[in-house]
Structure 1
Amino acid sequence: MTAADPRDTGRDGRAIARFLEMLAAEAGSARNTLLAYGTDLRGASDLLGARLAVAGENELGRLGAAWADLAPATAARKAAALRRFFAFLVDEGERDDDPSAALPRPRAGRALPKTLDRGDVDRLFAELQRRQAADPIPGHLRLTALVELLYGSGLRATELVSLPRRALRPDQPFLILKGKGGRERLVPISDRARAAVAEWAVLVPADSPWLFPSGKNHLSRVRLYQLLKTLAADAGIPPARISPHVLRHAFATHLLEGGADLRALQLMLGHADIATTQIYTHVDSRRLVELVNARHPLVDAHRNPA
């Protein structure tokens, strides 16, 4: 539980204090969560002249104007805190009504995924080739196989590092993976990736159950992350711009740029909802506009008027 705030006097202060006590005792909220709730509620109380606990819809509507310059995510967080507060007051019998419908519901724009352009990817593979030519050690073969699978198939980091030793077969250009939610999906494997894995696989101990072993287990996600950061730095790419997930995004982005169908991409990425996949269309808006201008039937009608 947080220490009592000196402002927790008066009707608003007492109501906020009781609400925070409930969150701590019944919901088991963490200290930082309680501090955030307290800050948001007291800030709203200050804006309404210490009338938050008794505020009606008209008064709450003023908060939307006061929050207009805030980031959508910040305003949404504040509104969520107030909704929970008013639900608590109703449950406690402090109020007969819940005015929180008047609170704004700002929608934060979904963050666009980080990705790499094709030049960046070319630099990564050029650095991998340089390493192998200069010092052909097993570690370089392993990293080449890892990067080929990340960029060539869009695997998630956990899926990649935990691949069974015999997951890829020379005569089978795809994997069947069980991803999030236990959903199975078919993942095509490029010829390049299969060749890189085959070259690495001959060095994997025969008794290892993993394709990418490390000690008694498989390679960790943290170690994969570190290897990619070092590779990026050596290739002249800021390490902050790369991660296993960024290579997965690059896989999706570049497939769309090449004309891939969104539904097919959804299946390959293992997204349950195509809305998740649609975020990648931002990267290719120019090509989509050109496609409409070049292929839409009304374009031909305009060029060849009757």
Structure 2
Amino acid sequence: MEDNIQDYMHFLLVEKGLAKNTLESYQRDLKNYSKYLQKVEGISTFSEVTRGNIVGFLGHLKNQGKSSKTIARHVASIRSFHQFLLREKTVEQDPTVHIETPKTERSLPKVLSLAEVEALMEAPDEGTPLGLREKAMLEILYATGIRVSELITLKVEDVHLTMGFVRCIGKGNKERIIPIGQTAMNILQKYLEEGRPQLRSSKHRDESLFLNHHGKGLSRQGFWKILKALSKKANIEKDLTPHTLRHSFATHLLENGADLRAVQEMLGHADISTTQIYTHVTKTRLKDVYSKYHPRA
């Protein structure tokens, strides 16, 4: 069973080109699944699996207190895995055919107000190389809406200040060219001229755009720590994550009349239905404004 999972992971990596985090999520789900099948159901090969075994596993997850969103993700992982086994002729039938995906409530993303964005942008100390780096990272995130995984993998060559855009590689190794505004360009130029040269190490020669104090590319965890510290400094009470800036980027664009398709392109969403959640956010915010300011609300 372990070999089957590894074959599938190889397929996702080589054929599908999925991102590392996505691959780890698939692998984690399938390991939980195979562990349950072996220990609880007494199954040693995936060809023995029935619909009842899968329903039992989903019930097991529910009893563990897993959310409907987590269970739905497991269903998607298991379904695509069994479809792979069927195509490879490892099994003769797909037991997931009549398995229904649990309905999940789509929660609206948290968004910063314009005042909170301003406070966050003012938090870094531009008088230091690390402060310049922090300010440049925040401005790029808010200016482009890129994911934190895309931010930390940016190379110096991916920034084109004269043309006013950033090139990033997103999910599925898809390239996106995203415009950046003058504010972001100015701080990025300052970071490249005054901040990055002081952080760069002659020993490592790392070409990552954003470096840590050792001269190496900044890690995801490193950025999380920086963001938490800056959020506290800016007195932002919301639970701020790197994705909050991505959500704020999309919401503020739509609130100011941007086209949904253009926002979809910049965010790198394969399906516009993913982007449409931000239209619900803007409607909710409009209702809040109405309720607060209309004399007869």
Band of TM-score, shorter chain: 0.5 to 0.7
Q: Which residue of 2 aligns with 1:11?
A: none
State the shift of 1:174 in Å: 1.1
Match of 1:251 among 249, 252, 272: 249
Q: 1:100 Cα deviation (Å)? A: 8.8
Percent sequence identity over aligned pairs? 36
Report the counterpart of residue 159 of structure 2 in structure 1.
168
* Distance in 1 separating the partners of 2:259 and 2:176: 16
Between structure 1 and structure 2, the one with the greater Rg is: 1
Counterpart of 2:187 in structure 1: which amino acid? A
Alignment partner, residue 150 of structure 1: 141
Q: Counterpart of 1:246 in structure 2: which amino acid?
A: T
Residue of structure 1 equivalent to 2:110: 114
255, 274, 277: which one aligns with 1:276: 274
Q: 1:153-232, aligned counterparts within 5 Å?
A: 153-203=144-194, 204-205=196-197, 208=205, 209-214=207-212, 215=214, 217-232=216-231
- How far the C-alpha of 1:231 sits from its partner, in A, is 0.3
Q: CA deviation at 1:142?
A: 0.9
Return closer, same or farther for 1:40/1:283 CA change in 2, 3 Å cut-off.
farther
How far residue 99 of structure 1 moved from its aligned partner, in angstroms, is 11
In structure 1, stretches of 5+ residues that fail to align are: 1-22, 42-52, 61-66, 85-91, 93-97, 290-306
1:123 and 1:24, CA in 2 relative to 1: closer, same or farther beyond 3 A? same
For 1:211 and 1:283, how far apart are their aligned partners in 2?
32
Equivalents in 2 of 1:109, 1:255: separation in Å? 25
Aligned-pair CA distance for 1:270: 1.3
Match of 1:160, as an amino acid? Answer: L
In structure 2, do the counterparts of structure 1 residues 26 and 103 end up closer, same or farther at CA, with 3 Å as the change threshold?
Answer: closer
In 1, Cα distance between equivalents of 2:274 and 2:167: 21
One of 252, 266, 271 as aligned partner of 2:264: 266
Helix, strand or coil at the partner of 1:213: coil
Cα distance in 1 for partners of 2:155, 2:272 equals 28
Distance 1:39 1:123, change over 3 A: farther
CA shift, 1:211, in A, is: 2.1
Kindly indicate whether the alpha-carbon contact (under 8 Å) linking 1:252 and 1:265 is maintained by their aligned counterparts in 2.
yes
The Cα RMSD (Å) is 4.3
Q: Contact 2:167 / 2:177 at 8 angstroms: preserved in 1?
A: yes
Instruction: State the partner residue of 1:95.
Output: none
SS, match of residue 218 in structure 1: coil
Matched-pair contact (CA < 8 Å) for 1:161–1:218: yes
| Partner in structure 2 of residue 140 of structure 1 | 131
Task: Show the 5 A alignment for 1:90-109.
Answer: 106-109=102-105
State the secondary structure of the residue aligned to 2:176: strand
SS of 2:248's equivalent in the other structure is helix
Quote the Cα distance in structure 1 between the aligned partners of 2:117 and 2:222.
20
What does the per-residue CA deviation read over 1:90-135, in whole Å, with 9 as the maximum and x for residues that have no partner? xx9xxxxx9998876542123332322223212212323xx34xxx
- State whether residues 156 and 209 of structure 2, in contact with CA within 8 Å, keep that contact through their aligned partners in structure 1: yes
Structure 1 ranges of 4+ moved more than 4 A: 23-32, 34-41, 70-78, 98-105, 286-289
